[in-house]
Amino acid sequence: NGARVRKVNGTSSGPVNWAALYSAANHDVIQQGGSRRGALMLMLHDWHPDVIEFIHVKEDLTKIPGANLSVCLSDQFMEAVKSDGDWTTKFPDHTDAEYDDLWDGDIEAWEAMGKPVKIYETYKARDIWKQICTAAWQSAEPGLHFLDRSNKWSNTWYFEKLLSTNPCGEQPLGAWAVCNLGAMNLSAFVDSQGQFDYDGLDKNVRVAMRFMDNVVDANFYFYEENERRSLEYRDWE
């Protein structure tokens, strides 16, 4: 927020203001088949200079009503919390000549290329952690996504980097990925004697998986990138 946008000689409004814009579009404009409003998850990394504002914005329940908010927490941040260490917020130096071409939101990739980073503030990691906990207690947000854990435990680690989750947090997703969710009612497989029908579960899960795979073909995709990514999951081994 406040960073200079050189091409138009202006300043950036920052991610919280953009979140409010997306929220308004999602809450007031987008309707899913007339049955409900759209669903939206917005996440911000723990290293971002505006993370403190992001943590507290929904303590005012009139702000950003059309989106869920979560902070992406890294293993490094949690280690700093554990050791009572410092935590710095940072952002790529946007005066770098290759910023427009190379910056894609991945701070680790940016630093790995030896690109310059601007340090903004230094906090105690535990102070940020306490602010997250307090805000979540007061307003139920922000949520937490332990992004490093998602990537290290993912069974798709070898072909994609997970970036966020779907709006309700059931499934971590990579770039342009689409959540295709199914659920089994496990209580339906318990008989009157309290025995679990594992064979029945096996049979029904196979049918459900076939059904969900058909959804990939039947779905209508607004963006080619979404369709390509959904179909690509079948091809990776």
Residue 179 is a catalytic residue: no
Q: Of 108, 170, 225, 232, which residue is the catalytic one? A: 170
Residue 9 CB neighbours (<10 A): 7
Catalytic residue among 26, 68, 72, 166: 166
Given a contact cutoff of 8 angstroms between Cβ atoms, the answer to whether 153 and 172 are in contact is: no
Among this protein's residues, is 170 annotated catalytic? yes
Per DSSP, 103 falls in state: -
Q: Is 224 a catalytic residue?
A: no
Torsion sign across C-alpha atoms 108, 112, 116, 121: positive
How many whole angstroms separate alpha carbon 224 and alpha carbon 25?
Answer: 22
Spell out the residues 6+ positions from residue 51 whose beta carbon is closer than 8 angstroms to its own: 44, 45, 71, 89, 128
Q: Which of 59, 98, 168, 225 is catalytic?
A: 168
Residue entry with tokens 């499934």: 171
Q: Which of 147, 145, 188 is closest to 169 using CA atoms?
A: 145
The catalytic residue positions are 166, 168, 170
